[in-house]
Amino acid sequence: MNHDTKQHSYEEIREAIIDILTRPRNAPDQWAALIRELELELARRDGAPAPHASLYGSQTMHPYDAELARDAFWDLFRQGMITLGINDANPAWPWFRLSHLGKTDLLTQNPLRFHDAATFIALVTSKVPDISEAALRYLREAAGAFYADLLLSSCVMIGVAAEAEFIRLVDVAAAHPKHGSRFNSAQKADFIGTKVGKFRQAIETIRADLPKPLMENVEVLMTIQAIIRTARNEAGHPVATNVIRQQVYVYLQLFAEMARQMMLFRQALA
């Protein structure tokens, strides 16, 4: 095993394994084959040369990655996603297959999976086709920083992108022919936290005029926005608290859902 190669997070390892096991064709059905495919997949995602095959397990994967792969596999087994054995002729380990639950749940469990900056941007634009160019500019910086392990920078850029989309939502609401005046104070507020609070107050006054499913999610939107804003503020101070990679991965996922909710509000308020 190579100690000089790149180390990955548990979440990255788990998502890569899920992507491999849910392939429509040629998914591995033995442990050694899975590790080989994982080695190739991680190299591909990192833009590294494909490692040579070996009879003795991974020769290029970081040793911690190899242990995280083992943890992720058995976590999936304990969650009922994997069954040991593939048939009566090969009924036990190291043979395995996805269970019926795994075949259905893993394909729908997390629609916000991504494994590099390009797939993250593609995910966001698929969920929010009208996302602003300003937000996309900062999101590309955020995703690039994440994959370069510049986690504080990524937090700040995610926050700026979220702010850009929220200001856009407030401007759309303030232009509404019937209810626009209710959002004037939010539009004129100098600070984003004040804008959020005043928007929240204004939206409640027209609850009856907006789709019920949309208003049922307003608290989700406000909560996600607050989480991302807090992460940005903390990352932007010299005494920033420690940020771990898994946190930033979640912030990127949360942004995608927040931006989708903002799009739905824009459409309702247009």
Which pLDDT belongs to residue 52? Answer: 67
For the stretch 200-246, pLDDT in tens is 999 999 999 999 988 988 888 899 989 999 889 888 777 656 788 77
**How many domains does the chain contain in total?**
2
**200 burial class (0-12, 13-18, 19+ CB within 10 angstroms)?**
middle
Which pLDDT belongs to residue 162? Answer: 95
Overall average pLDDT of the 80-106 stretch: 88
Min mean pLDDT across 13-17, 146-150, 196-200 is at 146-150
Residue 4 in any domain: the answer is no
Residue 3 in any domain: the answer is no
Q: Which of 80, 108, 136 is the last residue of a domain?
A: 108
Q: Is the pLDDT of residue 163 over 80?
A: yes
Amino acid code (one letter) for 129: P
Is residue 144 within 8 A of residue 119, CB to CB? The reply is no
Q: What are phi and psi of 6, to 5 degrees?
A: -70, 140
Which range marks the domain in which residue 30 is found?
A: 10-108
Which pLDDT belongs to residue 6? Answer: 78
Do both 138 and 216 map to the same domain?
yes
Do both 256 and 137 map to the same domain?
yes
Which pLDDT belongs to residue 269? Answer: 92
Q: Is the pLDDT of residue 70 over 60?
A: yes
Q: Tell me how far apart the alpha carbons of residues 220 and 223 are, in angstroms, rounded to a whole number.
A: 5
Overall average pLDDT of the 184-204 stretch: 93
Can you read off the two tokens belonging to residue 24? 């429509």
Residue 210 in any domain: the answer is yes
Q: Tell me how far apart the alpha carbons of residues 17 and 264 are, in angstroms, rounded to a whole number.
A: 33
Q: Is the pLDDT of residue 24 over 60?
A: yes
Residue 157 in any domain: the answer is yes
Which pLDDT belongs to residue 43? Answer: 86
Is residue 21 within 8 A of residue 102, CB to CB? The reply is yes
Do both 92 and 132 map to the same domain?
no
CATH of the domain at 14: 1.10.10
Residue with tokens 């700040």: 156
Q: Is the pLDDT of residue 175 over 80?
A: yes
Do both 69 and 183 map to the same domain?
no
Which pLDDT belongs to residue 108? Answer: 64
pLDDT averaged over the chain? 86
Residue 91 in any domain: the answer is yes
Do both 168 and 232 map to the same domain?
yes
Please provide the distance, in angstroms rounded to a whole number, between the alpha carbons at the two ends of the chain. 57
Is residue 231 within 8 A of residue 162, CB to CB? The reply is no
Which pLDDT belongs to residue 7? Answer: 82
Please give the C-alpha separations between residue 213 and each of 55, 154, 165, 265, in angstroms, as whole numbers. Answer: 55, 32, 21, 11
Do both 85 and 124 map to the same domain?
no
Do both 200 and 255 map to the same domain?
yes
What percent of the chain has a predicted confidence (pLDDT) above 90?
46
Do both 138 and 252 map to the same domain?
yes
Which pLDDT belongs to residue 55? Answer: 47
Amino acid code (one letter) for 33: A
Residue 228 in any domain: the answer is yes
Residue with tokens 């503020």: 233
Do both 157 and 245 map to the same domain?
yes
Q: Is the pLDDT of residue 1 over 70?
A: no
Residue 19 in any domain: the answer is yes
Q: Which of 66, 85, 108 is the last residue of a domain?
A: 108
Q: Which of 83, 108, 133 is the last residue of a domain?
A: 108
Do both 26 and 102 map to the same domain?
yes
Residue 241 in any domain: the answer is yes
Q: What is the DSSP string of the chain?
A: --SSSPP--HHHHHHHHHHHHT-SS----BHHHHHHHHHHHHHHHHTPPPPPP-TTS-SSS-HHHHHHHHHHHHHHHHTTSEEE-SSSSS-STTBEEE-HHHHHHHHHS-TT--SSHHHHHHHHHHH-TT--HHHHHHHHHHHHHHHTT-HHHHHHHHHHHHHHHHHHHHHHHHT-TTTGGGGHHHHH-SSHHHHHHHHHHHHHHTGGGS-HHHHHTHHHHHHHHHHHHHHHHHHTSTTPPP--HHHHHHHHHHHHHHHHHHHHHHHHH-
Do both 136 and 216 map to the same domain?
yes
Q: Is the pLDDT of residue 4 over 60?
A: no
